[in-house]
Structure 1
Amino acid sequence: MPLLRNALTCSVLVVFSHIAGAAEASAPAEALRPLLATLNERLNIGDLVALTKWDSGKPIQDSPREAQVIANARTLATERQLDPEDVAQLIAAQMEANKLVQYGLLAQWQTAGVAPDTPRPDLARQIRPRLDELQTRLLRQYSDFAPYRRAPNCPALLAQARQGLTYDALHDLALTRATGELCIRAEHL
């Protein structure tokens, strides 16, 4: 009887261990999904920013605004007990990805000689407040994901989670740029 009890105990432990391992393996994916959805939402706002730049003729590059956004992100990172440099890099990647969308769309519209005839929200009063709100959400979701950045399966999970989120090659490339530094490979530790 003790032998049977020991075998049963070992079997139960193996099953629980397998369940715990599966739950642990899915944790990075569960933390990654909302983060990628927010990054993708932010990229899609790049379409609206491009329209305002088309209409105004203003350049896409806005270094003072970018510096202000990164400084704000560093402050928020400190408040959330995140590494300010990691957060600055994350936000800089988002801005670069967004500019990639804007440059791509402007090039398409210049070739066509016209931009889409869609409503243009106000950059200062409508778009930037939305981007600020997304940054707050982005930092919260990044905080949830940060413990998994060094997971060996992080790059594979990231590649899988990106699939099907975008609607064209330009936005797919931009999302790849936006997520380029989310995972940290072991040799970079």
Structure 2
Amino acid sequence: MHFHRLSLKTPSLLALAVLLGAVAACQSGPGHAPPGPELRVGTSGDYPPFSDWKEERPHGFSVAVVESFAEAHRLQPSWVRFRWPELVKDLEAGKFDLADSGITVRPERSLTGRFTVPVLRNGAVLLLRRPSWALTPATALPPGPEAALAEVRALDRPELRVAVNRGGHLERVARSLFHQAQILAIPDNAAVREALATGQAHAALSNNLEAPRWAQGLTGIERVGPLTRDVVALYVRADRPDLEAKLNAWLLAQESNGALGSLRARYLGPGAGDATALPVQALLAATAERLALMPWVAAAKQRDGKPIEDLPQEAKVLAASREAVRSAAGALDRAPPSDAALDAFFQAQIDAAKGVQRRASIDAGAPSPSLDKELRPAIARISDRMAGLVARLPDGLDEATVLDLAQDWLGSSGLDAAELERIARTLAALRPGPASEVP
């Protein structure tokens, strides 16, 4: 038997080689780029319209945001399901790089991770099938948050059963609003609606985007609220400042070009609200996040025997803030505001924080996080985001407009009128270049 050496000169083999080469070229072309690095994303899968797990993968607004980001950065998202009570623990354990599932910014979450600029605002809503004993309140208050809160106070009786998703933001809201009612904390978010539908609960706590979907098909349901003004953002591991920075830059750009607004309109409908991933709004959201940590800071200082005012620490914060803004502005090829304007703004932040600490009601027996190991690192992460946003502020901010925005975004942060006005005034004065005016 004779064996012949195979050669590409053989016509059939030559044709096969050409064909395989063409296929390989097509697969490596612009439309068929090889999969990029993995991006592990936590999602609940039980929270439409943000994350709804169907057919082996999640769908919804939060999923679309992450997939758009991943495509723009040539990343390959892989989805990891979490349960709401384990969200913080799973992020801290490194089970995913970021979580996005309509996640509300909360202080206990700020302690262990990084939030991005906000992607939307939301509010808690009570869906109520009014019990026979609960008369419709006759209130002189105009429709709005105060009237809704007054109705909640009237409903707060031991006979009332309120269903809520266990371990999430809304359970904390429920326990802060209802002190006598029975709170039914249910681990499966979809089962919360079922408890209302079957009569197991008189009411269910949802939000203004989820509530209309839950109310569909149910009779005799009233809507009370919104009861809160909440901020929703992506939640990133504390040790991934690089990922947070990329997400923030991308979200700000997507808001500016209208793409993020289009996603909100597509998945969330008209209740999605106004744009949020804008420098001024995001800076005010970061201010509110920082201030929300101040009652814990006050408790930690009291526990450690430290005074509220720490001038050497304030000097370090001011110096670090100036340097961080200069660095961020340099990376953007922009001139930073003057040092005097930066000091005025960040000193207003520091003084407002001290005011919140002094007014905080401290339970001496309640546990509080460590000042040096948890609170100050969390504040530093927020401050880094603020520095990047200061560097991106547009020229010619109108003080009256900024004040209106500050009243909207900081109205529930525990500030007095003078503190809020000072933050708005010094923010409006942050203009690029050495000619920034100090109010």
TM-score by length of 2: 0.31
Structure 1 gaps, min length 5: 1-25, 110-114
1:73-115 per-residue CA deviation (whole Å, 9 max, x = no partner) reads 122232224123222222111110000001111xx45xxxxx2
SS of the residue 1:145 aligns to: coil
Query: Are the counterparts in 1 of residues 308 and 358 from structure 2 also a CA contact under 8 Å?
Result: yes
| Distance in structure 2 (CA, Å) of the matches to 1:166 and 1:117 | 29
SS of the residue 1:171 aligns to: coil
Structure 2 gaps, min length 5: 1-273, 330-334, 430-436
Question: Of 385, 388, 392, which aligns to 1:140?
Answer: 388
| Distance in structure 1 (CA, Å) of the matches to 2:350 and 2:325 | 17
Question: Of 305, 308, 311, which aligns to 1:60?
Answer: 308
Aligned amino acid, residue 320 of structure 2 = N
| Distance in structure 1 (CA, Å) of the matches to 2:348 and 2:412 | 20
| Distance in structure 1 (CA, Å) of the matches to 2:423 and 2:366 | 26
The CA RMSD over aligned residues, in Å, is 2.9
Aligned amino acid, residue 319 of structure 2 = A
Q: Which residue is 2:373 aligned to?
A: 125
| Distance in structure 2 (CA, Å) of the matches to 1:92 and 1:146 | 21
* Equivalent residues in 2 for 1:21-170, closer than 5 Å: 30-79=278-327, 80=329, 81-83=335-337, 84-105=339-360, 108-109=361-362, 115=363, 117-149=365-397, 151=398, 154-163=399-408, 165-167=410-412, 170=414
| Distance in structure 1 (CA, Å) of the matches to 2:400 and 2:286 | 18
Aligned amino acid, residue 89 of structure 1 = A
Assess, with a 3 A threshold, how the Cα gap between structure 1 residues 126 and 162 changes in structure 2: closer, same or farther: same
Question: How far 1:69 moved relative to its partner?
Answer: 0.9
Question: How far 1:117 moved relative to its partner?
Answer: 4.9
Write 1 or 2 for the structure with the bigger share of helix.
Answer: 1
Question: How far 1:31 moved relative to its partner?
Answer: 2.8
The percentage of counterpart residues that share the same residue type is: 28
SS of the residue 1:40 aligns to: helix
Assess, with a 3 A threshold, how the Cα gap between structure 1 residues 122 and 92 changes in structure 2: closer, same or farther: same
Q: Looking at both structures, which has the greater relative contact order when contacts are Cα pairs under 8 Å and sequence separation is at least 6?
A: 1
TM-score by length of 1: 0.67
| Distance in structure 2 (CA, Å) of the matches to 1:183 and 1:98 | 19
Correspondence 1:171 to 2:415: yes
Question: How far 1:160 moved relative to its partner?
Answer: 3.8
Query: Are the counterparts in 1 of residues 301 and 371 from structure 2 also a CA contact under 8 Å?
Result: no
Assess, with a 3 A threshold, how the Cα gap between structure 1 residues 146 and 96 changes in structure 2: closer, same or farther: farther
Assess, with a 3 A threshold, how the Cα gap between structure 1 residues 117 and 129 changes in structure 2: closer, same or farther: same
| Distance in structure 1 (CA, Å) of the matches to 2:365 and 2:409 | 26
Question: How far 1:164 moved relative to its partner?
Answer: 5.7
| Distance in structure 2 (CA, Å) of the matches to 1:119 and 1:172 | 27
Q: Which residue is 1:16 aligned to?
A: none
SS of the residue 1:147 aligns to: coil
Deviates more, 1:54-63 or 1:175-184: 175-184
| Distance in structure 2 (CA, Å) of the matches to 1:157 and 1:89 | 16
Indicate the structure (1 or 2) with the bigger Cα radius of gyration.
2
Q: Which residue is 2:425 aligned to?
A: 180
Query: Are the counterparts in 2 of residues 166 and 172 from structure 1 also a CA contact under 8 Å?
Result: no
Query: Are the counterparts in 2 of residues 32 and 158 from structure 1 also a CA contact under 8 Å?
Result: no
| Distance in structure 2 (CA, Å) of the matches to 1:89 and 1:146 | 18
| Distance in structure 1 (CA, Å) of the matches to 2:282 and 2:383 | 13
Query: Are the counterparts in 2 of residues 31 and 144 from structure 1 also a CA contact under 8 Å?
Result: yes
Assess, with a 3 A threshold, how the Cα gap between structure 1 residues 31 and 63 changes in structure 2: closer, same or farther: same
Aligned amino acid, residue 345 of structure 2 = L
Question: How far 1:123 moved relative to its partner?
Answer: 0.5
| Distance in structure 1 (CA, Å) of the matches to 2:365 and 2:411 | 22
Aligned amino acid, residue 82 of structure 1 = P
* Equivalent pairs, count: 150
| Distance in structure 2 (CA, Å) of the matches to 1:47 and 1:179 | 22
Aligned amino acid, residue 171 of structure 1 = L
